[in-house]
Amino acid sequence: MRRFLASVGRITIGVIVGVVIGNPVLLYFRQEKLLFYPVALNEGNRKIIKERYRHVEEVAIMAPDRTRLHGWFQRASGAGRAPLLIYFGGNAEDISPLPAAADRVSGWSMLMMNYRGYGLSEGAPGEKAMFADALLIHDTFVRREEVDAGSVAVMGRSLGSGVAVHLAAHRPIRALVLVTPFDSVASIAREKFWYAPTSLILKHPFDSLALAPKIDKPALFLVAAADSLVPLPHARRLFEAWAGPKQWQLVARENHDTIEFDPGYWRVIGEFLRSVSQPVADGRASPR
């Protein structure tokens, strides 16, 4: 019996050590696989986009490390310079289908660039690279003669909200559209992987909450009522910390992946962009 109990004790200790040490180690080395889901664009779809949307320009930017970033630029109809909306997608999103939606943002040009490893962009995604690329993308396109450099807004969906917030904290952005946003990846990870020291092992925290009190630009928060991937408290914490004018738009019956299917999705975005096309008045919008 004594030997049996000693054996059970060793097994129990082994299981505990495996959970406490093994799982965090596994999380550390697999966190990119858990966070990023690169989606490729095949040449057939690329050809369809170029043929169907002749007013959309295929664009590429070379990063300082010689990584080529690929995307699409849709110029607003009409002559002269136009305001620009820069879009950053979710962690499993190829932005290439978006030229079809860009027409719904009347009066605005729209720039859609894929992250590293997504679409036809080269390289591998990561917080540091995505943040640096966002600044490069902004700085490259505000110099184009058809872009009104004083009227640049940024739109980020899910993981892209973290990229959008970072850009707004480091460049003179006019306004932000944040779709299914979160306070930080670190905060979500602490809930999901409660048994692991996520603050020590997380390499891509995407901490928007730390930047929110420093950004005084108008922001539209589009939040899905049935979002289970990013629970509402994470979006609410970011909203409450936001320093600028802000609007809370709760989309009923939709979840994290279906929010864009709501009939009013692009209408609300269009109305918000029209409201910030003029000089922003002082004061903050109340949540609704």
Strands in 109-113's sheet, in edge-to-edge order, are: 56-62, 68-74, 109-113, 82-88, 147-157, 175-179, 219-224, 246-251
For 172-194, what is the mean pLDDT? Answer: 92
Mean pLDDT for all residues in the chain: 85
For 218-234, what is the mean pLDDT? Answer: 96
pLDDT digits (tens, 9 = 90+) for 271-284: 999 999 865 444 34
Locate the domains of the chain by residue range: 36-275
Q: With contact defined as beta carbons under 8 Å apart, do 79 and 246 qualify?
A: no
Q: Which CATH fold would you assign to the domain 36-275?
A: Rossmann fold (3.40.50)
Say whether pLDDT at 239 is over 80: yes
Say whether pLDDT at 265 is over 50: yes
DSSP state letter for 76: P
